[in-house]
């Protein structure tokens, strides 16, 4: 019989496997404690997330002061809950949202929940990697569609590419639209000059996944109101809908502990982290078999800046694929990456990383290193699907399951995506084309687990009747 989840986790936690993935606490807490001992409900003296006036409100206000936000809310249903609330708060059913096509599936969920239409901004490619969103693209989309009042983009991307948020925000505001930035992967950027500036300085609502790059428990984050243009009461109503009515005090205490760390030790720790990243990036940059996405990406494909904390490593394909590299790092060096694709791996770092942990990555790459021809191979470029009906109508209406071979020309009724990164290959309401089906087949041939396929052999697609 398989061992239980708790037993398996304890065993793994005691092993020497090193996390190059989230959560950002890197399994090294600040102090040990018994979680049962602090797991309470809303009892006298411990405040209420949904009407915060005491200890929880203090934590929110301290986070707002740290980031320079007008108001910050603790998130315990992940960034997902915050994105759902932000989209609902800034729109009415039937509105159109200008969104980057490389948004996370949470944004698509928000469009379904709030019954919104979409106008897409398509990121460009920098080699095999998806880039950023150019301000000019936002400007022309808003000029062509003056009825659009809400814009949402992801920055940094999963690969750490940051768009020119300052300019994009200024365009949005000039044209009377509000900007939501899904900065799920950038909660750390505010704390060191070696990272790009946070969108909190420019946008209207900014989402942070504290658990992704800061020492905080999985599922936790911040929603920041970053301007005076947001109706707080409306946002709070939606947060009450999309966040659990039983928020975990363990998760909220973890966020408060993270805030204390940033207040008291942030400056010093981030300075050391910056130095360590510089060293590590320098060492990886010397490898002949691996290319590290670095400063040369700035200015290309809508990429304004890059987050140094993300190590995007492209093995030279004459030697091995990204899947093979991740497999070797796991098997031979006990290093677990955040993500692997055919062309690259992503190793996520955080302020909690140790010199030993990241050093192990450098020596593993050095041991595998040899002169190898760089073969430039574009990732199966994401298709540019066309919407033919609203996401909500397609997702909630009558649907049937058809084989991949028969799906061409039909309208998708569900999201199909690889996770990570959770960017849909096709979304509900979009036409299923031969090109999309080819990409789905390619993933399946590579044994990649795609979400949104049905049936025992995962060869059925849900389409609108």
Report the interface residues with ligand PLP, using CB under 6 A.
Answer: 78-80, 104, 106, 154, 158, 182, 184-185, 209, 221, 422
Q: Please state, in angstroms and rounded to a whole number, the distance separating the CA atoms of residues 250 and 108.
A: 29
Residue nearest to ligand PLP (CB): 78
With H, G, I as helix, E, B as strand and everything else as coil, classify residue 266. Answer: helix
d(CA 233, CA 238): 9
The answer to whether the beta carbons of residues 461 and 432 sit under 8 Å apart is yes
User: Cβ closer to ligand PLP: 158 or 261?
Assistant: 158
Q: Closest separation between CB of residue 212 and ligand PLP, Å?
A: 7
- Residue with Cβ nearer ligand PLP (56 or 251): 251
Between 118 and 154, name the residue whose CB sits nearer to ligand PLP. Answer: 154
Of 185 and 410, CB closest to ligand PLP: 185
Nearer to ligand PLP, 161 or 202 (CB): 161
Residue 7 phi, psi (nearest 5): -60, -45
Q: Which helix (H) or strand (E) holds 73?
A: strand 71-75
Could you say which DSSP state residue 181 is in?
E
Query: Which tokens sit at 57?
Result: 């409100």
Q: How far is the CB of 174 from ligand PLP (least distance, A)?
A: 26
Nearest by Cα to 301 from 147, 157, 118: 157
Q: How far is the CB of 99 from ligand PLP (least distance, A)?
A: 12
**253 HSE (CA, 13 A, CB side):** 16
Closest approach of ligand PLP to the CB of residue 169, in Å: 18
Q: Which of 218, 158, 196 is nearest to 347 (CA)?
A: 158
Residue 20: CB atoms within 10 A of its CB come to: 25
Nearer to ligand PLP, 75 or 432 (CB): 75
**Least distance to ligand PLP, CB of residue 86, Å:** 11
Select 22 or 436, whichever has its Cβ closest to ligand PLP.
22
Structure tokens at 75: 């998130």
> How many other C-beta atoms can be found within 10 angstroms of the C-beta atom of residue 318?
11
Over the Cα atoms of the chain, what is R_g?
Answer: 22
Q: How far is the CB of 339 from ligand PLP (least distance, A)?
A: 10
The least CB distance from residue 43 to ligand PLP, in Å, is 27
Query: Are 191 and 24 a contacting pair, CB within 8 Å?
Result: no
- Tokens 């205490």 label which residue? 253
Output the smallest distance, CB 422 to ligand PLP, in A: 6
Specify the residue, 152 or 437, whose C-beta has the smaller distance to ligand PLP. Answer: 152
């Amino acid at each position: 019989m398989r061992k239980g989840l708790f037993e398996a986790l304890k065993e793994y936690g005691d092993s020497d496997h090193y996390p190059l993935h989230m959560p950002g606490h890197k399994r090294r807490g600040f102090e040990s404690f018994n979680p049962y001992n602090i797991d309470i409900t809303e009892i006298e003296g411990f405040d209420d997330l949904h009407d915060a006036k005491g200890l929880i409100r203090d934590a929110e206000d301290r986070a707002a002061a740290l980031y320079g936000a007008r108001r910050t809310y603790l998130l315990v249903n992940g960034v997902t809950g915050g994105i759902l609330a932000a989209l609902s708060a800034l729109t009415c059913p039937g509105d159109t949202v200008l969104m980057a096509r490389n948004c996370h599936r949470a944004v698509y969920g928000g469009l379904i929940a709030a019954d919104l239409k979409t106008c897409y901004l398509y990121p460009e490619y920098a080699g095999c990697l998806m880039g950023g969103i150019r301000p000019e693209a936002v400007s022309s989309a808003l000029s062509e569609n003056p009825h659009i009042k809400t814009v949402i983009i992801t920055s940094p991307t999963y690969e750490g590419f940051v768009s020119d948020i300052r300019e994009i925000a200024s365009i949005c505001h000039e044209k009377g639209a509000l900007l939501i930035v899904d900065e799920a992967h950038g909660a750390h950027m505010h704390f060191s000059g070696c990272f790009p500036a946070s969108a909190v300085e420019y946008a209207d609502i900014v989402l942070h996944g504290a658990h992704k790059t800061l020492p905080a428990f999985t599922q936790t984050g911040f929603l920041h109101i970053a301007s005076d243009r947001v109706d707080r009461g409306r946002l709070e109503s939606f947060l009450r809908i999309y966040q659990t009515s039983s928020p975990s005090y363990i998760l909220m205490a973890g966020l408060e502990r993270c805030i204390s760390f940033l207040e008291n030790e942030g400056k010093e720790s981030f300075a050391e982290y910056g130095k360590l990243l510089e060293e590590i990036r320098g060492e990886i940059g010397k490898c002949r078999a691996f290319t590290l996405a670095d400063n040369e990406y700035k200015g290309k494909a809508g990429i304004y800046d890059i987050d140094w904390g993300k190590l995007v490593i492209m093995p030279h394909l004459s030697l091995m694929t990204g899947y093979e590299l991740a497999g070797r790092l796991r098997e031979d060096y006990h290093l677990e990456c955040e993500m692997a694709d055919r062309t690259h791996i992503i190793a996520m770092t955080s302020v909690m990383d140790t010199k030993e942990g990241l050093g192990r990555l450098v020596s593993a790459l050095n041991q595998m290193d040899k002169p190898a021809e760089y073969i430039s191979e574009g990732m199966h470029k994401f298709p540019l699907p066309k919407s033919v009906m609203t996401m909500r109508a397609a997702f909630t209406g009558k649907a049937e399951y058809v084989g991949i071979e028969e799906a061409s020309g039909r309208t998708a009724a569900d999201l199909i995506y690889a996770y990570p990164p959770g960017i849909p290959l096709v979304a509900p309401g979009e036409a299923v084309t031969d090109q999309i089906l080819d990409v789905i087949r390619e993933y399946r041939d590579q044994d990649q687990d795609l979400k949104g396929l049905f049936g025992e052999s995962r060869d059925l697609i849900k389409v609108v009747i």
